[in-house]
Amino acid sequence: MEKILLALWRTVPSGNIKQTQLANKLGLSTKQTARLLRKWSDEGWFTFISGQGRGNASHLQWHQHVEEVYEQQLLQLIEEKSIETVSKYLLFDWSPEVKQRILHQIRANFGYVQNSMGNTDKLIIPRQYPLLTLHPLEAADIQSANMVATIYNRLVFVDASGVVYPELAHSWDLTATDLRLYLRKEVRFHDGSYLSANDVIDCLNRLRTDSSYVDLWQPITEIVAISPYIIDISFPSGCSYCLQMLGMINASIYKENAQQLTGSGSFFIVENHELKTTLQAFGDYFQERPLIDIVEFIQVSEDYDFTYRSTVQYLEGKTFQVESDSGFGVVILNALRNSPINQQEVRDYVHYAIAKHRHKIELFHTRALANQTSCLIGQQQQIVSFSCPVRPQIDQPLIIKAANYTSGATLWLKEALESEGIAVEIQWMSFQDKLLDTTEDQTADLFVHGEVFELDQNFSFFYFLSNGSSPIATIMKSQPQFANYLQQYAQTPFEEWTALNLKIEQQLMASSIMIPLYYEKRQIPFAMDLMNITLSHFGYINFSKLWVRPTS
C-alpha cells in the first residue's frame, strides 16, 4: 500500500488534468510524478495518457477503487500481523467512514493481552507522538519524562503533598548544611551490575554541571562517597529543597556505558523506534516486580481513541473514568524584548485584554477551565485587575510564538488581542523546536505556555520559574526583583514555600509578565477489568502497579 497513491485517488477523479497539477497535488517533482504514473499505470490502477504539446491536458482514467482495495488489504493485515505493522497505515489519508471501520478493527488489538502458552501479560497502548528521548537530563516533555520515571529510579520519592519517601536511598540524615544518604544494598541495574555510591555521584555531578540545571544546583558545593553505600552532599549556605531536588525526574540514577544508559527501574527498554517503544518487567527489581510483563506503546494517528482497555473487555465497551490533572496554561509576556512589550503600559493593556476575554478560552480549548486565581491548584490569589485603560500606541504587530499543542489557546489569544485593537502575528513552531526555544534572544513578544507539574506543586512551581529549559527563567533572572526572590528559596523552610510561591506569582501578575490562563484536566477511560489504577509523575499511569482481573 502506498500513501501517495491513496492520496491521488482521494483528490483526483477520472478526467483531464495537467501533469504539473498532479505533481503539485502530490508534492513531488514532475520527474518523480512521471515515474510513479508509469508505475501505477503498469500495475493497472489507471490509464494515463499524457497530453501532447506544451499546456495540453493529460487524461487519467481510474480502473480500480484504490481505497476499497487498500481497506481490504489492511483488514487482512490486522488479522495476520502485529499492531506495530498495521498502525502506520492509520496515517494514510482515508475517508472518514473507512477510517472509522479500520479504527474499530485495530482497537480490538490494543489493550491487555495474555499469552496462555507463555503466560505472558502484555498491555498495548496507543500514542500520538514518537518518544523524543530516554535521557533524564534531556526529558523536557511529559511523555519522555514519564518513560524516564518508569525505567530509572531516584534516590527518594516525593509525593503530591511534598512528603519524601525512601527509594534508592533507604534513609538519610539531614542538617541545615549537609545531607547524608544511605543507599540500599544489592540494587541491580538492568545489565545485572549493582548500584554503588560512585554511580550516584557520577549522575549527580553530570546533573549539577548541566547548563539547564546549574542554577538549581548552585547551593551544592560537594558530593562525596564515604563508603560504597554512603554519600555526603554539602551545601554550606543552606539548601532547604535538597531532598525534593533529588526526587525530580532529571535526578534519576543511571549507568552510562558506551553511550548506552542503563536504569534500575521496574521496566527496561526492549525496543525503541519511531513506531514503537516496548518495556519489559525487570525481574530483579528491588521493589515489587510489576504484574504486567510487557507494555508496548504503538504510534497511531491523532484522532485515535485513547481508552486504556483490555482486549477481553473491548467488545463490551464498559469503562470507568480516571481524572488526571494535565497542567495549567499561562500567557508569558517577554519584558526583555526590544519592542513595545517591554513597556509596562503595553503589558498592562495586554493583561487587561486577556482578563476580559479569559472566560472564552474553553471555546477554543475544550479541556481548559478558565483560571482567574492561581497556577497553584487549591490556592486563591488576590486578582490583579485593570480598569478599562486607554489603549497605548503600539506601532508594530505583537509577535506570538506558538506550537501545535497550544494552538487552541493561541488562536484564542490572537482573537482576544485583536478584538481590543492590538495587531498580532503568529510564528508557528514544531513541538520539539518549542522545547529548545529557551535562549535569551527571543524573537517573540508573548506566547501561551502549557506546564505540567511533576507531583509536588510547591517544588514544581519553583522549578518552573528557575530551570534552564523553562521559557520564563531568563526573564526571572534578568529582573533584580525576581532574581532576589529566587535566592530566597534555599533559605526558606520547605513548609513555607506555598506563601513564597504565591508572593512571587502575585508580583509576576502585577508586572504583567505571567498571567494565569487555564487549568487543564483529562478524563482517561479504562476498561473495567484493569485494576489498581494509580497516577504517577505528570499525571501518567503507574504501570508497575497495574494488573488485570480475570474474567472467569
* % of the chain exceeding 90 in pLDDT: 52
| Contact (Cβ atoms closer than 8 angstroms) between residue 171 and residue 179 | no
Report the pLDDT averaged over residues 226-231: 96
pTM listed for this prediction: 0.77
Cell numbers placing 309 = 482497555
Report the pLDDT averaged over residues 433-454: 77
* % of the chain exceeding 70 in pLDDT: 89
Q: What pLDDT sits at residue 137? A: 93
Q: Is the pLDDT of residue 343 over 80?
A: yes
Q: Is the pLDDT of residue 502 over 90?
A: yes
CATH of region 324-521: 3.10.105.10
**Most confidently predicted of 250-254, 321-325, 390-394:** 250-254
Question: Where would I find the beta strands (DSSP E) of 197-293?
Answer: 222-227, 230-234, 255-257, 260-262, 267-272, 276-281
313: confidence class by pLDDT, cuts 50, 70, 90? very low
311: confidence class by pLDDT, cuts 50, 70, 90? very low
Report the pLDDT averaged over residues 496-518: 93
Instruction: Determine the distance from the C-alpha atom of residue 112 to the mean position of all C-alpha atoms in its chain, rounded to a whole number.
Output: 24
Q: What pLDDT sits at residue 309? A: 55
Contacting residues for 131 by C-beta, under 8 A, at least 6 apart:
143, 144, 147, 272, 277, 297
Residues 262-303 pLDDT 10s: 999 999 999 998 888 999 999 999 999 998 898 888 877 665
Q: What pLDDT sits at residue 100? A: 80
Under DSSP, is residue 428 helix (H, G, I), strand (E, B) or coil? strand
- The domain 153-264 is placed in CATH, from the list 3.90.76.10, 3.40.50.620, 3.40.50.1970, 2.60.40.790, at 3.90.76.10
Q: Is the pLDDT of residue 381 over 90?
A: no
Under DSSP, is residue 199 helix (H, G, I), strand (E, B) or coil? helix
Interatomic CA distance for residues 167 and 159, integer angstroms: 12
Q: What pLDDT sits at residue 54? A: 64
Q: Is the pLDDT of residue 364 over 80?
A: yes
Q: Where are the alpha helices (DSSP H) in 227-358?
A: 242-246, 344-357
Pick from 73-87, 137-151, 199-213, 417-431: least confident: 73-87
Contacting residues for 119 by C-beta, under 8 A, at least 6 apart:
none
Q: Is the pLDDT of residue 247 over 60?
A: yes
CA angle (322 as vertex; 316, 324 as ends), nearest 5? 145
Q: What pLDDT sits at residue 455? A: 75
Interatomic CA distance for residues 32 and 15, integer angstroms: 21
CATH of region 3-64: 1.10.10.10
Residues 39-93 pLDDT 10s: 999 999 999 998 876 667 899 999 999 999 999 999 888 877 777 678 778 778 8
| Contact (Cβ atoms closer than 8 angstroms) between residue 165 and residue 149 | no
| Contact (Cβ atoms closer than 8 angstroms) between residue 494 and residue 162 | yes
Interatomic CA distance for residues 306 and 231, integer angstroms: 43
Q: Is the pLDDT of residue 148 over 90?
A: yes
* Ranges of each domain in the chain: 3-64, 153-264, 324-521
Task: Determine how many CB atoms are found less than 10 A away from the CB of residue 120.
Answer: 14
523: confidence class by pLDDT, cuts 50, 70, 90? low
Q: Is the pLDDT of residue 310 over 60?
A: no
| Contact (Cβ atoms closer than 8 angstroms) between residue 49 and residue 58 | yes
CATH topology match: 3-64 vs 324-521: no
| Contact (Cβ atoms closer than 8 angstroms) between residue 169 and residue 240 | no
307: confidence class by pLDDT, cuts 50, 70, 90? low
Q: What pLDDT sits at residue 550? A: 64
